[in-house]
Each structure stands twice: as C-alpha cells, then as structure tokens.
Amino acid sequence: MTPSIAATMSAQGHVKDPKLADAGVSRIEWAEREMPVLRQIRARFERDRPLKGKRIAACLHVTTETANLMLTLKAGGAEIALCASNPLSTQDDVVAALVHRYGIPTFAIKGEDAETYYSHIDAVIDSKPEFTMDDGCDLVTVLHTKRGDAIGTVIAGTEETTTGVIRLRSMVRDGALRYPILAVNDSKTKYLFDNRYGTGQSTLDGVIRATNRLIAGSTVVVLGYGWCGRGVASRARGMGAHVIVTEVDPLPALEAVMDGFQVMPAPEAVKLGDVFVTVTGNIHVLALDHFRSMKNGAIVANSGHFNVELDLDSLRKEAKSVRTVRPFVEEYTLPLDKQIFVLGEGRLINLAAAEGHPAAVMDMSFANQALGIEYLLSHARELKPNVYPIPKALDQEIARLKLEALGVRIDTLTPEQSAYLASWQQGT
Ligand SMILES: NC(=O)c1ccc[n+]([C@@H]2O[C@H](COP(=O)([O-])OP(=O)(O)OC[C@H]3O[C@@H](n4cnc5c(N)ncnc54)[C@H](O)[C@@H]3O)[C@@H](O)[C@H]2O)c1
C-alpha cells in the first residue's frame, strides 16, 4: 500500500471518493425496491432490536444489495464493520454512502492491490467481532492464521458462497476450524436462485458490458455445469448462442446433455468457442495449452469465486505483448499474432464489469444471512466448530415471504393428502 493510500484510511473506513456518497444512496435505495423479504426483516429488526450491541465483521462484495443487508443488521442493533471479499467487486459509491451517509465503517476500494485488500480485512478484525460474515473464506482464514489474537471473542459465523463452504469443510477435515459456521450457500433459497439466475444473468451482463459483443450466433463455452454453470448456459442459449458445456463429473455432464447442450472435453471445446466462461471453483481450468488452441479473437472470462480458474501467469509469459484495449478487456498477443481477450483480469466478471446479481435474488441470499445471524444468537453455544446448514424452516419461510411479495399464492395439503403422504399402508 502506498503511503498516500494508507493516509486515507481511518477507523470510520477507507473510501475512494466521499463525493460519490449521494450517487451511492440513490443506487442503494433502487436495490431496496427489489428486496421485499429483507425489507420485512429490517422492519422487524427495527422493532425488536435482536442484534443490539452485537459486533459483526463482514467480508462481502460491497454492492448496493450488501449495503441493504448492512442497514438491516444495523436496524437490528448490530455494530458492523465491512470490507470487500474481492479486490475488483467493490462499488466505490456504495462505500462512500455507507461511511458518510449511514455511518457504517467500510473498508474497500475498487481495484485495491493485495496488500490493501488484506489491510482492510485486518481493519474489520480490529473491531473485535463476535460474528463473522464471509464470502469466500478469506476473513475466516486470516482470523485462523495471522490474527489468532482476535479469534477468542468470535462466537460463530456465516459463509455466502460455494468456494467458501468448500474451504471451510477442508478446515474441518484438518481440525483447524475453531467456531461454528452456517453455510448460507447451501440454502435452497440461495443457490437455486442466486447461483443459477443471478450468476446466469449478471455474468452475461458483465461479458456484454465489457465487450459489447453480440451473443446471438456466438459459440459460448461454459466450463462447469454446477448451479452457476446451469444459469450461464441457459441464459446464453436464451440470447441465441450455441452453447458447449465441459465437465469433470459425469452426473452434471449427463444433465447438461439432457438439457440439450453439447458436452465435450475442454481440449476440443477450446477450438470451437468464441466466448469462454469458467464457473467451476477450480484451479487452471483454462491452462496454457487451452489458450494456445483457441481461435484468434477468443474472449475469456471467469465467474467463479477466485481468479485462479484461468492460468493467466502462463498466458502472460507466453504473450508477446499485453495491453488494455477497453475497460476490463486485456488483449494478449501470442506468437503467430493470435489474440486472446481476457476480461476483468480473470476476476468474477459479473462483479468486475457489471453490478453483480440483481437485487431480487440477493433479497433471498441476504435474508438467509440476516436470519442466519439471528439464529446463531440463540443457538451458537450449542454448536461445535463445524459447518451447518441454515435450518430448513428458515429456508422455507424465506421462500414463502418471497412468493407473498411476488403476489403468488399456492395450494395447501388437504387433511386427506397429509394423511396419505404420512402413511405406508395405502398402495395400489
Ligand atoms: N460470480 C458470482 O457472483 C458467483 C455466485 C455464486 C457462486 N460463485 C462461485 O462460482 C463457482 C461455482 O459455484 P457453483 O455453485 O456453480 O458450484 P458447483 O459445485 O455447483 O459447480 C461447480 C461445477 O464445476 C465442475 N468442475 C470442477 N472442476 C472442473 C473442471 N476442471 N472442468 C469442468 N468442470 C469442472 C464440478 O464438477 C461442478 O459440477 C464457485 O467458485 C462459487 O463460489 C460465483
């Protein structure tokens, strides 16, 4: 971190430009309109103040939707400190609004270097949290490795994304995790909507905003057919792309086949694609050999949590030159003058070049976060250090509230139907 950047950091936060605060407020209020479930929770929290005086350290993508979650926790009485969970996903106007209009200490600057990113995580840990709210497990990892001094006061936490949950389970296997964590990602009201429809739409939004490329008629290769991959593949098809899927697991590969996509190994797909999107949570899914086989002009993006899915170090070494040709588009010129365009430095493209998920899906993800913290208040002491799902009843309640907000009504079981489903004697 350069001394001039360090000088702008205080206990109130680290803001790129305070003058952006009013623009941030307008966008936060715009997102709030699409977050009816979180609004209801906020109204109840305001009344009952269940989180009064509880200290929460959050490491999340700093977006308008996250701001609404922070305002909900604050309405419940919590004392919050927030930092970014990715160096390129921060919305600087939101940080300015959180610090200068809402008084929530927030440490995040879009495009921050690795040193600044980790100094921001340190800053939220300095608030001596009782609860952590993480997205990708960087906050939890720092607490367990470099900041053991602050772990004693932590009671429990939540984790937002697939990659974070995978890292936590690995900590449990190694006997390293020191407090219980709720896997928000594993709620149905999270992954079925946020990962699928949220990542699906916003990833294409990011690719389009960065490149203005016509999707119709393009060959889009989606690497990984998990919940995010399903969303990206179906939205790309909806826009007229010819979609190819690559997988390593036979089950999602078979699903992709029956969903009507062409499935083939990556070394074959790389020769055909115009646009590539990795969404695996895995490392070097596109490696140097893949880049070498791509068509001239191929566009490559990642929407998985970390920027490890593309082996950009090897690509950079191979390249004769690298230059930025548009915001979030880097042109790598390889020997024989082949050009590959990498978007958003390989970081999640929906947050780097677009605005992340639409508020309507984050409404449910963040309802899980808010209700998860409330649940931990009364249950954390009974839980051993491990990874736990959000209770099914909360998941269903969030779906019920969302349907209600959408004005959609459903049927209820008749007593006869309930009895039938509970019995084993009735057959043919
Ligand atoms: N961009 C976003 O806003 C956003 C939102 C939610 C999740 N995520 C992240 O996206 C990633 C994927 O999440 P998910 O919920 O879809 O996970 P998932 O576990 O449901 O799916 C991942 C899929 O990738 C496959 N895979 C693994 N290695 C592969 C390889 N080398 N080649 C091809 N396929 C491979 C797996 O078999 C699996 O089917 C995670 O890193 C997650 O944290 C990003």
What digits encode the pLDDT tens for the residues 134-172? Answer: 999 999 999 999 999 999 999 999 999 999 999 999 999
Whether ligand 1 lies within 6 angstroms of the CB of 350 is answered as yes
Q: Tell me how far apart the 2 most distant CA atoms of the chain are, in Å.
A: 78
At residue 2, does pLDDT exceed 70?
no
Distance from the alpha carbon of residue 308 to the mean position of ligand 1, in angstroms: 12
Q: Whose CA is closest to atom 35 on ligand 1?
A: 224
Residue 249 tokens read as: 């697991």
Assess whether the C-beta atom of 248 lies below 6 angstroms from ligand 1. yes
Residue whose CB lies within 8 A of the most ligand 1 atoms, among 305, 362, 364, for a mutation test: 305
Question: Is the CB of 40 inside a 6 Å radius of any atom of ligand 1?
Answer: no
pLDDT tens-digit readout, 181-208: 999 999 999 999 999 999 999 999 999 9
Rounded Cα distance, 40 and 328, in Å:
37
Cβ of 231 below 6 Å from ligand 1: no
C-alpha 150 – ligand 1 centre gap (Å)? 32
pLDDT at 320 over 70: yes
Q: Quick one: pLDDT at residue 83?
A: 98
Judge if the beta carbon of residue 24 lies within 6 A of ligand 1: no
Asked if residue 64 has its Cβ within 6 Å of ligand 1, the reply is no
Q: In whole angstroms, what separates CA 395 from the centre of its chain? A: 19
Shortest-distance atom of ligand 1 to CA 350 = 1
The rounded mean pLDDT for the chain is 97
Q: Is 229 in the pocket of ligand 1 (CB under 6 A)?
A: yes
Q: pLDDT tens digits for 349-388? A: 999 999 999 999 999 999 999 999 999 999 999 999 999 9
Q: Which residues contact 165 (CB under 8 A, 6 or more apart)?
A: 159, 183, 185, 186, 387
CA within 13 Å, CB half, 48: 11
- Which tens digit of pLDDT belongs to each residue from 248-299? 999 999 999 999 999 999 999 999 999 999 999 999 999 999 999 999 999 9
Determine whether the shortest distance from the Cβ of 206 to ligand 1 is under 6 A: no
Distance 198 CA to ligand 1 centre (A): 14
Is the shortest distance between the CB of 276 and ligand 1 below 6 Å? no
Distance 414 CA to ligand 1 centre (A): 40
* Whether pLDDT at 331 is above 90: yes
Question: Is the beta carbon of 307 within 6 A of some atom in ligand 1?
Answer: no
pLDDT band of residue 6 (cuts 50, 70, 90) is low
- Predicted local distance difference test score (pLDDT) of residue 5: 65
Between the alpha carbon of residue 362 and those of residues 65, 191, 231, 333, 377, the distances in Å are: 6, 11, 15, 38, 22
pTM for the full model? 0.94
Torsion of CA 200, 400, 32, 228, to 10 degrees: -10
> pLDDT tens for residues 118-129?
999 999 999 999
- What is the structure's pLDDT at 385? 98
Instruction: For residues 125 and 184, give the distance between their C-alpha atoms in angstroms, rounded to a whole number.
Output: 21
What band does 405 get if pLDDT is binned at 50, 70 and 90? very high
* Share of residues in the chain with pLDDT > 70 (%): 98
Atom of ligand 1 nearest to the CA of 136: 43
Kindly give the number of the ligand 1 atom that is closest to the alpha carbon of 306: 41
In this structure, which residue's CA is closest to atom 37 in ligand 1? 249
Q: Which two tokens stand for residue 61?
A: 């993508």
Residue 11: pLDDT band by 50, 70, 90 thresholds? Answer: confident
Predicted local distance difference test score (pLDDT) of residue 426: 86
State the pLDDT at residue 428. 81
Q: How high is the pLDDT of residue 157?
A: 98
Q: What mean pLDDT do residues 331-360 have?
A: 96
Cα–Cα distance for residue pair 97/360, rounded to 1 Å? 21
CA of 160 to the centre of ligand 1 (A): 14
